[in-house]
Structure 1
Amino acid sequence: MSAQNTPESPKRGRRWAATSARVVVGLAVGAGLVIVGIGAIAAPWPQLTRAAVTVTATPAPDASVVTCAGPLLAIGRTATQAGGLSFAAPQSVLSGVAPVSPSASSTTVTAPGVSGSAGALTFTAPPGSAGRTDLAASGSSSVEAPDLRGLAVSGCRGPLSETWLVGGATTTGSADLVVLSNPGAVPATVQLTVYGGKGGQTAPGGTVVVAPGTQRVVPLAGLLLGEPAPVVRVTATGAPVQATIQTSLTRVLTPGGVEQVGPAPGLAPTVVIPGVVVPTSVPMAAGNTTTVLRMLAPSSAANAKITVTPVGGADVPGDTIPLAAGVPAQVDLSGLTPGTYTIRVDADQPIVGAAWQATGLGQGSDFAWFAAAPAVSGQTVLPVPAGPAPVLAAWNPTDAVQTISLQPASGTPVSLSVPAHGSASAPVVAGTVYTMTASGPVQSAVSFSGAGALSSLTVWPAQAAAATVVVAP
């Protein structure tokens, strides 16, 4: 047996030697690669720097769209339907576009849940040769009924994905309604968050779907009952919406006023409320609350400094008020003498705010909500709807004098010089569309005041051409 195995032994030895040699060579090559790899890691790599490719483009101009609040509504007029909604008074609407621009057409956003109401008007203007058309509209309603009386003036606004509404109440005597309009072509899912004494809350009925081309009305008391100072945040997905609050008040059996509250410009550390009218008819008896400032810091606690400035006069500094996060606060300003004022609030956190003013507390009285105003510069369109004694009041937040010119299509132009960090006012003509040109940023509003009538129209920029955007792949 051993003789048979002997010839194989040298071959095994040669094979083993060859295999061992290959292993040694492999280890050497591997070690060399490791050394080369370590050296490559230690050595500096070549640097390649390339600037990001960007493209600056101007979006194609689209049609300009604004939607009005619509007619005044009443709740509970039908004995068989205590919560039924019905038409109460029409809205007279005035619209206009910038000079040498395509004219606007109107359609109606229907209100299927309101008896007798045709809905709200929507205005659409196609783009012109120079870009998007500047379009603006506003409306006014007046009503005298056993359950509703007063004047309501409001601006027609473009639909928004987020809206802050400062105004109204859900206490005894209030019959307030959140009115949501969807002028678009797809449904909008809207969430209503109401801020009150316990912070922001979304009730089970606070998420609603607004069908395209329709208006949905939600009673505010159904979202948060017994709240004297609510602030409503409206968030829309799927399609933007136009949102307002119709607020009204009844004292015992006497109607005490009506108003349509439009959107705030948005959260900001400084809130400017121009053109707040304190009428001479306000009773000054002790205990009467006729002027109120409402504020909300929704996210963080804040300190808010209040300054009241009469038009053409000097500042009257007020108190600094602590604001709890998410809880609205109200300040009684009823000691103001008759006149027109600008109310400013400077806070260390973003806030929203508005002012409430009543003409009285008895038969034939009315009230108004004066909203914060955005800064407007350059040219915009200002339609002044029907209403008593309209006056434009403007605040200048800059260090230089600003001039405002109002040019009507026909009639007498209006000029206004607004001092630095000061205010000025001038009467305007109801039923007139003005082209307003401001030399620099101003914040302004048109107030309407008469016997038993009070309301306000905040001046917003008209819809302008789309700005350029930078696209980075």
Structure 2
Amino acid sequence: MTERTKLVTGGARALTGVLITAAAAAGALLIGTLNFPTVESEPRATQVDTMQTGARELVCAGAFAELGADPSRPDVALPVGRTNVSVSGDGERKELGSSDTDSTSVGGAAVFTGTMSEPLAAAQIQQLDTATLSGTVAGECVEPVNEQWLLGGASMLGYSTTLSLGNPGSVAATVHISVFDENGKIDDQQTSGVIVAPQSQQIISLNGYAPDSERFAVRVTSTGAPVGASLSVSQIDGINPVGAATVTRQVRAETVSVVPGVANEAVGNHGDGDADSFPVRVQAIAPGEAAGTAEVFALSAEGERISLGGIELQPGTLSELEVVTWPKSANAVVVESEVPVFTAVGGSANNDTAHDFDWFIPAPELSADTELRAAIVPGGKLILTNSGSEPATVTISSDDDSAPRTVEVQAGSAVPTDAKGSVTIESTAPVSAGVRVLSGGAIAGYPVIPSSEPDGELTIYTR
């Protein structure tokens, strides 16, 4: 091919490309200016029930854990004895295994599984009577979460505190424990991560985390799987056991905390003057960055609101109010704070032959016209607390086929009422509920916790 032929051929190809490009541009412009008929379809909304196959789990801590129960391993905490568990609602029980190498460490730690669409509650109680333990302990079985707080422990001379971690999930949970006492947060170097195997329980001694602390609060966070946590606190005077408590966890710091069931009944409880020999103690910690103050009140069954004093709050420091004289007519405590706090109230029982104590924690508020399942342990009494400004009519229905009954709870009152076993509670106004066991030298209690209710409907749009 000659040079002239090559030039002619190349020019023709270039011209053809230019013409094609121009035609495409013109066509696109023409399409953009023309109105073609369109077909539109509105998205269709379909409501899907997400709670049909969802599962709800409640973790029960099982038997009280004692540090040094095995003399050959004094630094290991082991469950002692068995618990009596009460269940309200339909749930399948499964035992949790032990994360320890000790396969005999079986104390009844369990998980109850039900459906998200049906309310479920469970609680446990245990009588302790050994050479090193005495008292009555009770606690609510709780839904596993990724962050929770526990108050009421101590590690000074005579006190022992252990932390129970239950993982009902199918994967391991990595748990970080942060401890705060009367001086603030314990150095992070003294805390560590704990691995809790799937479907198992791990028991940790806290005395080594915060030695010689008069009081401490524990923040538990987990990754991998949520866990249920509780404290076991015992006290010994010389060689004589003088009481024990199981402490249920808390999830949210509040500016208004309602603590049902608090009592301080004892024979010869008065020392000098009118002061109690075993005073009620109110503890509070502000987990945020702000300081503030809190005012503490007691509520009676007659609606009397009694001021108990105030608490100065510093961030991350566990503060305490000692109530010199507990009002004998009171059945609950209300803590009103300038900043959100976690709180706990320590009460006691004493007679000529026995002494016991317990830590009561706030109960979440039950919304009006909402059914709440409650499990009442043997010997327990239901404490209904109305911290609002409107009276509440509470209907209590028992699963034993007895007729429902109503209890009038006036504004600003805390009313004890009889209830047994599995019951359903519904109120015309918001109330908080707790269960208290009080007999002679024994005391125990726990909050009635509403089930977490995620939104049960999901809207899906289809075309």
**Structure 1 and Structure 2 fold alike (TM over 0.5):** yes
Distance 2:128 2:300 in 1: 30
Distance 1:78 1:197 in 2: 31
Q: What is the SS of the residue equivalent to 2:451? A: coil
Q: Which residue of 1 aligns with 2:198?
A: 212
The yes-or-no answer on 1:195 pairing with 2:180 is yes
Contact residue 139 and residue 246 of structure 2 kept, 8 A: yes
Shift of the 118–89 alpha-carbon distance from structure 1 to 2, 3 Å rule, reads closer
Q: Which residue of 1 aligns with 2:444?
A: 455
Q: Which residue of 1 aligns with 2:11?
A: none
Distance 1:151 1:401 in 2: 33
Render the CA deviation track for 1:422-467: whole Å, top value 9, x for unaligned. 33221223xx101111223111111110122100121111354644
Distance 2:249 2:458 in 1: 26
Q: Which residue of 2 aligns with 1:371?
A: 361
Q: Which residue of 2 aligns with 1:416?
A: 407
Q: Compute the displacement of 1:205 (Å).
A: 4.2
Contact residue 133 and residue 465 of structure 1 kept, 8 A: no
Gap regions ≥5 residues in structure 2: 1-44
Q: Compute the displacement of 1:137 (Å).
A: 0.7
Q: Which residue of 2 aligns with 1:235?
A: 221
Distance 1:118 1:445 in 2: 25
Normalising by the residue count of structure 2, what TM-score does the alignment of the two structures yield?
A: 0.82
Q: How does 1:158-177 map to 2 (within 5 A)?
A: 158-177=143-162
Distance 1:427 1:282 in 2: 27
Q: Compute the displacement of 1:363 (Å).
A: 5.3
Distance 1:227 1:57 in 2: 52
The yes-or-no answer on 1:324 pairing with 2:309 is no
Q: Compute the displacement of 1:354 (Å).
A: 0.8
Render the CA deviation track for 1:156-191: whole Å, top value 9, x for unaligned. 111011111011101111111010000000111111
- Which structure: larger Rg? 1
Q: Compute the displacement of 1:340 (Å).
A: 3.5
Contact residue 55 and residue 471 of structure 1 kept, 8 A: yes
Gap regions ≥5 residues in structure 1: 1-53, 98-102
Contact residue 91 and residue 141 of structure 1 kept, 8 A: yes
Q: Compute the displacement of 1:248 (Å).
A: 0.6
Render the CA deviation track for 1:353-410: whole Å, top value 9, x for unaligned. 11001213985211111111100131011111123xx222222233322111111112
One-letter identity of the residue aligned with 1:231: A
Give the one of 395, 418, 426 matched to 2:417.
426
Q: Compute the displacement of 1:57 (Å).
A: 6.5
One-letter identity of the residue aligned with 2:449: W
Q: Which residue of 1 aligns with 2:85?
A: 93
Q: Compute the displacement of 1:313 (Å).
A: 3.5
Q: Compute the displacement of 1:94 (Å).
A: 1.3
One-letter identity of the residue aligned with 2:426: T
Shift of the 427–110 alpha-carbon distance from structure 1 to 2, 3 Å rule, reads same
Q: Compute the displacement of 1:243 (Å).
A: 0.3
Size of the alignment, in residue pairs? 407
Render the CA deviation track for 1:75-125: whole Å, top value 9, x for unaligned. 21333221133331201111121xxxxx32110111242644244111112
Contact residue 343 and residue 362 of structure 2 kept, 8 A: yes
Distance 2:328 2:127 in 1: 24
Q: What is the SS of the residue equivalent to 2:121? A: strand
Moved more, 398-407 or 440-449: 398-407
Moved more, 264-273 or 227-236: 264-273
Shift of the 342–261 alpha-carbon distance from structure 1 to 2, 3 Å rule, reads same
One-letter identity of the residue aligned with 1:66: L
Q: Which residue of 1 aligns with 2:285?
A: 296
Matched-pair identity in %: 23
Render the CA deviation track for 1:262-291: whole Å, top value 9, x for unaligned. 012411111111121121435211373331
Distance 2:235 2:364 in 1: 28
Distance 1:267 1:206 in 2: 24
Distance 1:234 1:471 in 2: 36
One-letter identity of the residue aligned with 2:61: A
Q: Compute the displacement of 1:215 (Å).
A: 0.5
Shift of the 265–425 alpha-carbon distance from structure 1 to 2, 3 Å rule, reads farther
The yes-or-no answer on 1:123 pairing with 2:112 is yes
Q: Which residue of 1 aligns with 2:137?
A: 152
RMSD in angstroms over aligned alpha carbons? 2.4
Q: What is the SS of the residue equivalent to 2:98? A: coil
One-letter identity of the residue aligned with 2:97: T
Shift of the 423–76 alpha-carbon distance from structure 1 to 2, 3 Å rule, reads closer
The yes-or-no answer on 1:338 pairing with 2:328 is yes
